[in-house]
Structure formats: C-alpha cells, structure tokens
C-alpha cells in the first residue's frame, strides 16, 4: 500500500464499477470505511469485505462527523440530491462542522463552485476507467483550496497514481472535461480511420499496429482501437455517460465563450449514436458502429 | 547502423526536411547514393557529405539501371511529373528493366495503384516527422507485392524503426491517410481542450500534464499540446501539407463510400485555418489559433 490510512474514518457513497474498488483500496490501506449505496447488494458486498454500512445518508454523515466523505455518483443532479437534498448527507452534518466532501464523479463546473460555498469540497474526477480503479492507478484531477486539497491528498494518493492539484474549486472538473473532450473526439477519429482502412481493403488490425509507432499513437488507439478491431463493445465506459460529459463540455464552452464547430459536430455524433442508433449502453468505442 | 547497404547503388530524389536525412542514413549505411533535387543547394550539401549528384532525372535513372530509386516529394502531381513526366526518370529507364521506385511521400491511393502498373513500386509513406527522419526512427507503412517489398526492406529498415507491410500497392498510402486523419482530428481536439481550460481559468500547461496519465494521453497531446501551451507554431509539419492530406482522405472516403460528418467538419476546419486565417506556413499545431 502506498499510504497508510489507519486511524482515518472515511465515508463512501456510491459503490458502482468505479466506487467499489476505490472504497476497497481505502479499507485495505487501514481506514475505517463506512459505506452507503442506493442498491443494497453493493453495500452488502462491502460489508462482507470488512467495511461498515450506514442505514441512511444522515446517519453516515453523523458517524463521520468532521471527517471526510467520498462520493462517486453518475450525474450532477444525483450529487446535489445525495449531499444537500432532503434525507441527504447535510441532514446529518454537525452544526458548524468541517466535514470534507471529495467528489470523484464528473460534475458540472458551476454547480461544483456552488457546492464548495456550502461545505468543504474537493472536486477530484478521475481518468483511467474501471481498470485504473481496480489497480489504484487512476489519474486524479483535483480542485479546491490548498487546505482542503491537503486534507484530501492521502485519500487521493491511495486510490490513484497521478494526482494533480489544478487550482480552485471546479478546476478539477474543468480538467476532466478537457480530458473527456479529447476522449470523445479521438474515439470518433480512430473509428473513422479504422473503418476507412477496412473499406479500402486494408486489415484494420494491421493498421492499428502500424500506427502505434507514429504521431497517431494514443491510449484510445491502443485500447479502444483494439475493441473496434475485435468488434467488442461490451461496456466498459458507457456511451450514455460519454454523452452526458459532452453535454457538460458544451455548457462550459458556451459559458466561457469558446466557439467550436468541431464541438457542435461532436455533440451531434454522440446524440445520434445514443438516441438514434441505440448505442447508449454500449462501450463508448461502439461509436464505430455509426460508420458501418 | 542497423543494416549494411554496401554494394547497393541507390537513387534519391527530393532532399527536403525529410529526404535529406534519409538519404544521409543510406549513405552512412554504406550505399552509393546518387541524388537529384530541384533546388541545387540541397544537392550540393549531399555532395559535400560524400554522395554523388546526377545532372538530370533521366541520367540518374540511367545510372541506377535495375536498382532502386527513392522519391520523397510533396504532392501526387510532383511524383507523377518527376517519375513519368517529360524529362522525368522514366526517360532514362532501361527498356524492359526492373527499376524499383520507393515512394516515401503521402501520395493519392488511386494514383499509386496506377503508378504500380507501370513500374515496380513500393508505397512507403512515413510518420514521425523531421525528428524521426533525423534519428532514423520513422514508422513506415508499406504497400506493394511481396517481391517488391522484399527488395525495399533493407532500405526501409535503414531509415525507419517500425516497418509494416500492409498489403498490395496503395495499402501503405491508405494507412498513412488513416494516420493523418487521426492526427488532423486529434490536433483539433487537443486545441479545444487546452483553450477551454485556459478560458475557464485553469493553467493549460498543468492540464496537459495531468491528462498525460489518463485516457486522453497521445503523442499529439505530448508534442503538439506542448507547442500550443508555449504558443510555438514554427513549422515542423506545415499546416498546408496537413490540409493536402485531409483532402486526400476525403477523396478516399468518398471513393469507398465512407460517410462522415466529422470528416466534413475536419476539412472545413483546415481549409479555414489555411485559407482564411493565413495559417498555411505554420506548424499544424497552429490550428490552436482558430480558438483564440
């Protein structure tokens, strides 16, 4: 283990494909981990691994007190509801307390800034997928005050390999959206390139290998290009979540005045794939299918 | 040296940023290299390094006889003119000879197939840029018959590090266009991502570093992203050549029936940058400027 967390009591809300292994790494680093999850099965699995389970969100917050609560949820709306909604964590916070929330999800930038005005908050979205979560090799893009980042750091370094503090609240989310913009557009580029080769009578598997040595080399060509060659679109990273991120990117771009025809086209591609081609539950590399 | 070429007599036409170091590597591997270049300065430099210079293209062809002639030129039209045009190489070929032409440039696919019907031909476009040419670490994507590829191989392995035989004539060019499609679109994606971060108040240099660990990682983010951060758009790979390649990609896509809104948008981006923003002579990473 990279860091020992013994003596720490940490709350963890959201035990999905990413959250479950992250909570487990905190537990294995010696922390006392108290979990809550909407579906009971994942929470019960955590209990069999030695973590404790809170019956409700306010109870979890009460138990953690001035400590740290990690949330790993799918949308901005769910984050707001779980943290500040009725029956949410904030119902159990000590008055005048200094609970720190670490948000590992990809959450809207203006909302993140608002949340950070109500409670100590570190936005810490991740890249690296389920594989990175299992192996504790995630890249983590963090935003928040220096003090809050310092509190979050031992936890971030336990679940990730490369932890970068990008600036004030929301800076982590901005960086994650920059990441997702590149991912969304590179998947599209790799899909076109491999399909163009195939339609031209050249083996796409061979093309992918040849390209890995040159300027077109990328993690997407390596991993998602391989999925395209094998036509293996079992999720992985669901296309519907990629579309959610593309919408957040467009909202941020509009709010800061970034005009981009490419970004508009990118959104249209993902909307078409998810809503017209029924690709939402496939892996995002499945965007390849719009060229078949 | 990886391969010794002593005893080989090799023609080399086109001593630009890429061709000059490639010809030098062949010379240093022991080959007798006879060069021709449109502007005399580059040819004279080659002579001072120990290569020989032919006065005309037919004389070069006559001297090489049944050997190998490498061409490294900027456009399909120039390749056709230099090889088959009046006063070109074919005027000096021995009747019934078996001269092999190796074309290192990015040349149209249907034209390559036509050229290969007239003379032994290996299309061998490269990726890796001037840096790769200097260091003899280019990726080379080759097309042609097994026999012609076998003849070309010692030369390809002298100037490149990763040599892949993709299939029949034109397969190398198809693969290079797949490469350029990814490069053209990834540069655009990285430009948007870094500019979006900057406009959102986050340091793009820090963003680039943070992203290098995750799914957005690519050679383009690494090298061209760094140029964008430093606003250093001195060419390198000129944008006007990137546009030339994007046009070839569109022509190939149309000929094989690949419909792509993204590709149409990509072409519009590069046309705008080169023809409306005056970016043609900048490095292709200069596309960043359309977001400023």
CB pairs under 8 A between A and B: 253
Identify the domain boundary among A149, A168, A187: A168
**SS3 at position B215:** coil
The DSSP annotation for B37-105 comes to -SSHHHHHHHHHTT-EE-SSHHHHHHHHTTSEEEE--SSHHHHHHHHHSTTSGGGGSPTT---EEEE-S
What's the length of chain B?
Answer: 292
Are the Cβ atoms of B139 and A249 closer than 8 angstroms?
no
Residues above pLDDT 70, as percent of chain B? 99
Query: Do residue A158 and residue A182 come from a single domain?
Result: no
**SS3 at position B177:** helix
A289: region left, alpha or beta (phi > 0 left; psi from -120 to 50 alpha): alpha
Query: Do residue A133 and residue A261 come from a single domain?
Result: no
Are the Cβ atoms of A166 and B261 closer than 8 angstroms?
no
Total of domains in chain B = 2
Q: How many CB atoms lie within 10 A of CB A177?
A: 27
Tell me the two tokens of residue A184: 């969304």
Q: How many CB atoms lie within 10 A of CB A95?
A: 4
Query: Do residue B45 and residue B117 come from a single domain?
Result: yes
Residue B112 and residue B248 in contact, taking contact as beta carbons nearer than 8 Å: no
In a mutational test of the B interface, the residue from A181, A215, A290 whose CB has the highest number of chain B CBs within 10 Å is: A215
CATH code where residue B267 lies: 1.10.1040.10
Chain B residues touching residue A261 (CB < 8 angstroms)? 265, 268-269
Query: Do residue B18 and residue B52 come from a single domain?
Result: yes
Would you say residue A2 lies in a domain?
Answer: no
C-alpha distance from B104 to closest chain A C-alpha (Å) = 15
C-alpha distance from B15 to closest chain A C-alpha (Å) = 22
A153 closest CA partner among A144, A99, A134: A144
The boundaries of the domain holding residue B40 are: 9-168
In Å, the largest CA–CA distance within chain A is: 68
Confidence of residue A284 (pLDDT cuts 50, 70, 90): very high
Chain A residues touching residue B124 (CB < 8 angstroms)? none
Would you say residue A233 lies in a domain?
Answer: yes
Element holding B18 (H helix, E strand): none
C-alpha distance from A203 to closest chain B C-alpha (Å) = 7
Query: Do residue B53 and residue B153 come from a single domain?
Result: yes
Q: Which residue among B176, B234, B244, B264 is the active-site one?
A: B176
ipTM: 0.92
Q: In the 3-class helix/strand/coil scheme, how is chain A assigned residue by residue?
A: CCCCCCCCEEEEECCCCCHHHHHHHHHHCCCEEEEECCCHHHHHHHHHCCCEECCCHHHHHHHHCCCEEEECCCCHHHHHHHHHCCCCHHHHCCCCCCCEEEECCCCCHHHHHHHHHHCEEEECCEECHHHHHHHCCEEEEEECCHHHHHHHHHHHHHHEEEEEEEECCCHHHHHHHHHHHHHHHHHHHHHHHHHHHHHCCCCHHHHHHHHCCCCCCEHHHHHHHHHHHHCCCCCCCEHHHHHHHHHHHHHHHHHHCCCCHHHHHHHHHHHHHHHHCCCCCCEHHHHHHHHC
pLDDT at residue A4, rounded to an integer: 87
Confidence of residue A3 (pLDDT cuts 50, 70, 90): low
B233 closest CA partner among B183, B280, B174: B280
Q: How far are the Cα atoms of A31, A214, B12, B146, B222 from residue B169, in angstroms, in the given order?
A: 62, 21, 20, 10, 33
Query: Do residue B15 and residue B150 come from a single domain?
Result: yes
Is the pLDDT reported for residue A144 higher than 50? yes
Identify the domain boundary among A168, A185, A214: A168
Average confidence (pLDDT) over A221-231: 97
Residue A22 and residue A72 in contact, taking contact as beta carbons nearer than 8 Å: yes
Would you say residue A123 lies in a domain?
Answer: yes
Q: Measured between alpha carbons, how far is A99 from B51 in angstroms, rounded to an integer?
A: 74
CA atoms in the 13 A half-sphere facing the CB of B142: 26
Query: Do residue A283 and residue A189 come from a single domain?
Result: yes
Q: How many CB atoms lie within 10 A of CB B154?
A: 18
Residue B189 and residue A179 in contact, taking contact as beta carbons nearer than 8 Å: no
CA A239 to chain centre: 13
Is the pLDDT reported for residue A109 higher than 60? yes
Chain A residues touching residue B131 (CB < 8 angstroms)? none
Residues above pLDDT 90, as percent of chain A? 94
C-alpha distance from A31 to closest chain B C-alpha (Å) = 26
Nearest CA in chain B to A265: B262
Would you say residue B133 lies in a domain?
Answer: yes
Tell me the two tokens of residue B152: 């070309």
Query: Do residue B233 and residue B179 come from a single domain?
Result: yes
Are the Cβ atoms of A218 and B213 closer than 8 angstroms?
no
Tell me the two tokens of residue B81: 């003119």
Average confidence (pLDDT) over A86-115: 94
pLDDT at residue A267, rounded to an integer: 98
Q: How many CB atoms lie within 10 A of CB B221?
A: 26
Would you say residue B63 lies in a domain?
Answer: yes
Query: Do residue B163 and residue B182 come from a single domain?
Result: no
Are the Cβ atoms of A128 and B211 closer than 8 angstroms?
no
Would you say residue A1 lies in a domain?
Answer: no
Are the Cβ atoms of A196 and B174 closer than 8 angstroms?
yes
Are the Cβ atoms of A211 and B260 closer than 8 angstroms?
no
pLDDT at residue B209, rounded to an integer: 95
B161-207 tens-digit pLDDT: 999 999 999 999 999 999 999 999 999 999 999 999 999 999 999 99
- Using CB atoms, pick whichever of B197, B201, B213 lies closest to residue A162: B213
Are the Cβ atoms of B200 and A262 closer than 8 angstroms?
no
Paired sense of beta strands A120-123 and A100-103, if any: parallel
- Residues in CB range of A202: below 8 A, 6 or more apart: B166, B167, B171, B174, B175
Tell me the two tokens of residue A249: 């990117």
Q: Measured between alpha carbons, how far is A58 from A51 in angstroms, rounded to an integer?
A: 18
Q: Measured between alpha carbons, how far is A58 from A63 in angstroms, rounded to an integer?
A: 9
Query: Do residue A150 and residue A264 come from a single domain?
Result: no
Would you say residue B74 lies in a domain?
Answer: yes
pLDDT at residue B1, rounded to an integer: 47
Predicted TM-score of the model (pTM): 0.92
CATH code where residue A117 lies: 3.40.50.720
Q: Which residue numbers in chain B have pLDDT < 50?
A: 1
A157-182 tens-digit pLDDT: 999 999 999 999 999 999 999 999 99
Identify the domain boundary among A136, A168, A200: A168
Q: For helices B171-199 and B219-230, give the axis angle rounded to 10 degrees.
A: 50
Would you say residue A106 lies in a domain?
Answer: yes
Query: Do residue A128 and residue A30 come from a single domain?
Result: yes
Confidence of residue A1 (pLDDT cuts 50, 70, 90): very low
Residue A68 and residue A120 in contact, taking contact as beta carbons nearer than 8 Å: no
Query: Do residue A81 and residue A158 come from a single domain?
Result: yes
pLDDT at residue A96, rounded to an integer: 80
């Amino acid at each position: 283990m990279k860091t020992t967390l013994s003596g720490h009591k940490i709350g963890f809300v959201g035990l999905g494909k990413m959250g479950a292994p992250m909570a487990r790494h905190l537990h294995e680093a010696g922390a006392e981990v108290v979990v809550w999850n909407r579906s009971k099965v994942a929470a019960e699995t955590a209990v069999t691994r030695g973590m404790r389970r809170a019956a409700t969100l306010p109870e979890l917050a009460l138990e953690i007190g001035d400590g740290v609560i990690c949330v790993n949820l799918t949308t901005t709306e769910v984050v707001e509801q779980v943290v500040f909604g009725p029956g949410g964590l904030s119902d159990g916070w000590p008055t005048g307390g200094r609970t720190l929330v670490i948000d590992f999800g990809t959450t809207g930038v203006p909302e993140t800034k608002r949340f950070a005005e109500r409670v100590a908050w570190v936005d810490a979205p991740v890249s690296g997928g389920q594989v990175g979560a299992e192996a504790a090799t995630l890249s983590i893009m963090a935003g928040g005050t220096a003090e809050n980042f310092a509190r979050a750091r031992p936890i971030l370094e336990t679940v990730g390999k490369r932890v970068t503090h990008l600036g004030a609240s929301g800076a982590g989310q901005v960086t994650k959206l920059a990441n997702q913009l590149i991912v969304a557009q590179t998947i599209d580029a790799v899909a076109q390139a491999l399909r163009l080769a195939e339609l031209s009578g050249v083996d796409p598997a061979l093309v992918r290998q040849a390209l890995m040595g040159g300027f077109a080399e990328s993690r997407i060509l390596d991993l998602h290009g391989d999925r395209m060659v094998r036509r293996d679109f079992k999720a992985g990273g669901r296309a519907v979540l990629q579309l959610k991120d593309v919408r957040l990117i467009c909202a941020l771009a509009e709010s800061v005045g970034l005009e981009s025809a490419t970004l508009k086209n990118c959104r249209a591609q993902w909307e078409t794939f998810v809503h017209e081609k029924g690709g939402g539950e496939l892996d995002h590399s499945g965007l390849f299918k719009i060229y078949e």
